[in-house]
Amino acid sequence: MQSITPDRMKAIDTNCTHLGLKGIQLMENAGAAIARKVLSLDVHNNVLIVAGRGNNGGDAFVAARHLSYYDNIRARVILAGKASGIRTKDALENFNLLKHCGIKGLAEITDSTQSDVFQWFKEADVIVDGLLGTGIRGHVREPEATLIDAINTGNSYVVAVDTPSGLDPATGKGENTVMADTTLTFHRMKTGLENQGEFTGDVEVINIGVCRDAEDTVNRGDLEPLLKRRIDSHKGQSGRVLIIGGGRYSGAPALSAMAALRTGADIVTIASPANVSDTIASFSPNLIVRKLSSEILHTNDIEILKDLIHAHDVVVIGMGLGNEETIHQAIHQILPLCKKVVADADALNELQLPPPENCEMILTPHPGEFARLTGKEVEKELPARAKMLHDFSRENKVITILKGKTDIISDGKYIRQNYSGNAGMSVGGTGDVLAGIVGALFCRTDAFNAACCGAFVNGEAGDVAFAKKGYGLLATDVIEHITDIMRQ
Ligand SMILES: NC(=O)C1=CN([C@@H]2O[C@H](COP(=O)(O)OP(=O)(O)OC[C@H]3O[C@@H](n4cnc5c(N)ncnc54)[C@H](O)[C@@H]3O)[C@@H](O)[C@H]2O)[C@@H](O)CC1
Ligand SMILES: [K+]
């Protein structure tokens, strides 16, 4: 089973909420599993539950409630800080229930002078460590630091909730960290727990009932980290996208550019052949257009394009270019100059794969284009289609979004599906919109995440547009609703 980062786990948790599985349900399963683990130990008459003010503490409160059912167990709870400081609704609800559970002792610790309470550490057969989980940030502060020392000082058996408190669950590094005998981590192994050792003890992965779709499909939890922006960020920091398109058509690159702007890119430039550049510029005052020398994309323009490529983070190439040998030659010379590329439409013709070294490439084919790329008919059934996409992406070292009723995205390692979108989006131009969205996101995150979230945002914006316009929706309507999805 593959390990995941704490950030990925957070995205999966949030996706669960959006699918209708509440965090408090997962918390109940997590806490009940901790209690079962305590009950399985040979000696468990005195159990001390040490809880923080986040959801890791919430899991610990649930465990305390489950343990309080047994007359032969003296379950006592120490909260790090004051009850008024409990930060999440789920944790607070579970804390409040403890009043009704006959808990044998409940203390709120703010400093190390509460010596009578510290006696509880010495009396405990088992300590449940629910101080800090995947929400830990920076060096451990008080009162958690003192409580971690107290846990480590005694001879009790220590069960860590999700991760030993103090450990960085992404890297496995820890300074002031609980030394657990066993760690029960939830849903999947975390990257920082893989090398089970002095902090973690044995690590068990516990199923807490996460729905499959929270992990296998793209949802809000994947997108949310991309919506945050530093208040002091300045122009350019949120992404500079260069669109290379147009010549045969003028609308396509403009749609990509507007979509990239609405997705939050700071600077979007269109480099387009001379015959269409004025037309493209006339579509909107928001567009910056660089006129190229010829009527089609040509190798003569490579020097101009080289400077433009260096001045942007991501190149989105292909929309409306046309399908001629001169254009293919130009594209072959352009791609080695790029670090990050989204290749769509005409750039998918005669494309040489794998991409040049140091060029990360996202492809956005529809089934017809994908059939041309692979030289094979596209599988009709979803699992076979997904495998085909996975194998293609792995062999060619690209990230691919195969557009369809269900979009499938793969980087050759993982496969994800996107359910957002609707039949109204079969209208022309929505593919150009998708490429622009993906380009803007690719400035801010890794290629696979940009591809997944791009497909999701495009489909969600299309769904809002469909609710208003039905089958009359246009690609420009999808663009208008990108901001509904990209708002926090
Ligand atoms: N739906 C969910 O989100 C679920 C979360 N679960 C649990 O929730 C945990 C994550 O919960 P949270 O995101 O609330 O985070 P945590 O409970 O891990 O930690 C957040 C709390 O710790 C404090 N804190 C952070 N860094 C600190 C430091 N360096 N020193 C002292 N205090 C610090 C914060 O101020 C906050 O009060 C997981 O590890 C798991 O145990 C489970 O209940 C399953 C479901
Ligand atoms: K913990």
Residue 459: per-residue pLDDT: 97
The residue from 156, 185, 216 where one domain ends is: 216
For residue 183, the ligand closest to its alpha carbon is 2
Domain residues for the domain of 271 are 231-486
Residues 212, 250, single domain; the answer is no
Ligand 1 atom showing the smallest separation from residue 27 Cα: 43
Mean pLDDT value across residues 47-64: 98
Ligand 1 atom showing the smallest separation from residue 144 Cα: 31
Residues 337, 461, single domain; the answer is yes
CATH number (domain holding residue 464): 3.40.1190.20
3-state secondary structure of 416: strand
Residue 154: per-residue pLDDT: 83
Nearest CA, atom 25, ligand 1: 136
Mean pLDDT value across residues 60-67: 98
Residue 113: per-residue pLDDT: 73
For residue 163, the ligand closest to its alpha carbon is 2
- Total domain count for the chain? 2
Give yes or no for residue 228 having a pLDDT over 90: no
Residue 435: per-residue pLDDT: 98
Residues 124, 242, single domain; the answer is no
Residues 212, 246, single domain; the answer is no
Residue of 328, 336, 343 lying closest to 243 (CA atoms): 343
Q: Is residue 128 part of a domain?
A: yes
Ligand 1 atom showing the smallest separation from residue 138 Cα: 29
Give yes or no for residue 52 having a pLDDT over 90: yes
Give the residue, out of 14, 56, 79, 204, with the most ligand 1 atoms within 8 A of its beta carbon, to mutate for a pocket test: 56
For residue 137, the ligand closest to its alpha carbon is 1
Give the residue, out of 55, 109, 140, 146, with the most ligand 1 atoms within 8 A of its beta carbon, to mutate for a pocket test: 55
For residue 133, the ligand closest to its alpha carbon is 1
- pLDDT-derived band of residue 2, with 50, 70 and 90 as boundaries? confident
Residue 290 has a CB neighbour count (10 Å cut-off) of 17
Q: Is residue 205 part of a domain?
A: yes
Residue 117: per-residue pLDDT: 87
- Measured from CB, residues less than 6 Å from any atom of ligand 1 are 13, 23, 26-27, 30, 52-59, 87-88, 132-141, 144, 161-162, 186, 208
In 3-state terms, the chain is what percent helix, strand and coil (to 5)? 45, 15, 40
Give the residue, out of 61, 136, 149, with the most ligand 1 atoms within 8 A of its beta carbon, to mutate for a pocket test: 136
Nearest CA, atom 11, ligand 1: 55
Give yes or no for residue 115 having a pLDDT over 80: no
Residues 237, 101, single domain; the answer is no
CA of 237 to the centre of ligand 1 (A): 30
3-state secondary structure of 18: helix
Mean pLDDT score of the chain: 95
pLDDT > 70 fraction of the chain, expressed in percent and rounded: 98
Model pLDDT for residues 367-405, shown as the tens digit of each residue? 999 999 999 999 999 999 999 999 999 999 999 999 999
Give yes or no for residue 37 having a pLDDT over 80: yes
Question: How far is it, in rounded angstroms, from Cα 11 to Cα 236?
Answer: 27
- pLDDT-derived band of residue 238, with 50, 70 and 90 as boundaries? confident
- Does 355 or 115 have the greater pLDDT score? 355
The residue from 160, 193, 216 where one domain ends is: 216
The residue from 175, 192, 216 where one domain ends is: 216
Residue 234: per-residue pLDDT: 67
- Quote ipTM for the complex: 0.98
Residues 183, 328, single domain; the answer is no
Mean pLDDT value across residues 408-415: 97
Q: Is residue 478 part of a domain?
A: yes
Mean pLDDT value across residues 283-290: 94
Residues 176, 265, single domain; the answer is no
Model pLDDT for residues 420-436, shown as the tens digit of each residue? 999 999 999 999 999 99
Residues 206, 241, single domain; the answer is no
Nearest CA, atom 28, ligand 1: 140
Tokens of 49: 């539950």
Residues 187, 253, single domain; the answer is no
Nearest CA, atom 33, ligand 1: 136
The DSSP secondary structure of 333-347, one letter per residue, reads: HHGGG-SEEEE-GGG
Question: How far is it, in rounded angstroms, from Cα 43 to Cα 454?
Answer: 52
CATH number (domain holding residue 65): 3.40.50.10260
Q: Is residue 221 part of a domain?
A: no
Q: Is residue 225 part of a domain?
A: no
Ligand 1 atom showing the smallest separation from residue 166 Cα: 29
3-state secondary structure of 409: strand
Model pLDDT for residues 180-208, shown as the tens digit of each residue? 999 999 999 999 999 888 899 999 999 99
Residues 337, 404, single domain; the answer is yes
Residue 176: per-residue pLDDT: 93
Residue 60: per-residue pLDDT: 98
Question: How far is it, in rounded angstroms, from Cα 444 to Cα 384?
Answer: 32
Q: Would the pTM count as exceeding 0.90?
A: yes
Tokens of 25: 């349900």
Residues 178, 318, single domain; the answer is no
Ligand 1 atom showing the smallest separation from residue 161 Cα: 41
Residues 245, 115, single domain; the answer is no
Model pLDDT for residues 333-364, shown as the tens digit of each residue? 999 999 999 999 999 998 999 999 999 999 99
Report the DSSP pairing between strands 399-402 and 407-410.
antiparallel
Mean pLDDT value across residues 96-109: 93
Q: Is residue 282 part of a domain?
A: yes
Mean pLDDT value across residues 47-72: 97
Residue 196: per-residue pLDDT: 81
pLDDT > 90 fraction of the chain, expressed in percent and rounded: 91
Q: Is residue 188 part of a domain?
A: yes
Question: How far is it, in rounded angstroms, from Cα 347 to Cα 316?
Answer: 9
Q: Is residue 226 part of a domain?
A: no
Question: How far is it, in rounded angstroms, from Cα 290 to Cα 245?
Answer: 11
